[in-house]
Amino acid sequence: MPLSLQADLGIEQVADLQAALQPHFDDEVLELSGAEVRRVHTAGLQLLHAFMRDRAARGRVTTITLPSPTLVEAARQLALAASLGVDTAPGDAA
């Protein structure tokens, strides 16, 4: 079952995002659902990118499924869409 990303990935919510992700840092495989994401700030995407990068460096697999159009567009604007695995048409599964 995927872990749902919160609807608000704004800078005010970064601590909550980190708290939600941290217990899953050592999971072998982690699926994150981006379907509910409605608001994104750079800080939220940076944290998500760093989390996924650091997991990959440890051989862990992380995927974002069903990224919302908001998440995809924000990731594209920051050139993080490919590294986050959301470089697909909005609404498509990543």
Evaluate if residue 94 carries a pLDDT over 50: no
Pair 30, 56: CB distance under 8 Å: no
**3-state secondary structure at position 89:** coil
Give me the pLDDT at residue 1, please. 84
| Amino acid occupying residue 90 | P
Residues 6+ apart with CB under 8 A from 76: 87
For the chain, domains (ranges, CATH) are 3-84 (3.30.750.24)
Evaluate if residue 17 carries a pLDDT over 50: yes
The phi-psi region of residue 48 (left if phi > 0; otherwise alpha if psi is between -120 and 50; otherwise beta) is alpha
pTM of the predicted protein model? 0.89
Q: What is the mean pLDDT of the chain?
A: 93
